[in-house]
Amino acid sequence: MASLIGHDQLVTGLAFNPDGKTVATVSDDSTVRLWDATTGKEKGTFRGHDGPVNCVSFSPDGRFLATGGRDGTVITWNPYTGKVVKPVLEGHAWSVLEVWYLPDGHLVSAAWGGGLFLWKHPSPKPTKIFKDFEGKPDTVFGYRAHYYPTNIALSADGKTVAAGYQNDVSLSDLSKYLDGEK
């Protein structure tokens, strides 16, 4: 259908807008780019992370775009204007590897060795609901938590997280955190 050409370094993440008309890509070149999914024409380039951008996700309604970077931050964007929706979400100690929107519009972000955060966002002051997999044996990931996950996936309803390790996968229930428990 089309080739999306514009990044000058490794493309590290991509996501379709829920309407299927726009594709967002992120790259080691520190940019976020939006593309027309039919023609391949670039619709915009955003810069905001201090370094490479690792992951990208559209909100369920398509009104927001979240990106996670090697700088340990999550940035929420207005995909129509390219402006950052303040505040930039900070708190991860390491590179953000995954970012997802839950069906209710909240964000989940995962960092290499630096936690799994649930953010009430967008809001003037987002709240970290919980932080896990930082090497503590009593975390949500149980006995494997002293090994950092190599991959993380979130279920479509946002209530279960899967964490991949050296040779196995752990499934964990996040509903108690989503229901406001700490």
**Cα–Cα distance list, 86 to 64, 75, 133, 163 (Å):** 12, 8, 27, 30
CATH of the domain at 69: 2.130.10.10
Structure tokens at 175: 């509903």
CA dihedral 43→14→92→158, nearest 10 degrees, is: 110
User: By residue range, what is the domain housing residue 115?
Assistant: 11-135
Structural domain includes residue 150: no
Q: What is the pLDDT of residues 115-125, one digit of tens each?
A: 677 777 666 55
Phi-psi region of 30 (alpha: psi -120 to 50; beta: other; left: phi over 0): left
Structural domain includes residue 130: yes
Q: What is the pLDDT of residue 160?
A: 83
pTM of the model: 0.82
What domain count does the chain have? 1
pLDDT in tens, the chain (182 residues): 778 889 999 999 999 999 999 999 999 999 999 999 999 999 999 999 999 999 999 999 999 999 999 999 999 999 999 999 988 888 787 888 889 888 888 888 877 765 677 777 666 555 555 554 444 443 444 444 445 666 778 888 878 878 777 677 778 777 766 665 44
Structural domain includes residue 141: no
**Cα–Cα distance list, 166 to 91, 144, 146, 152 (Å):** 26, 10, 12, 13
Phi-psi region of 148 (alpha: psi -120 to 50; beta: other; left: phi over 0): beta
Structural domain includes residue 86: yes
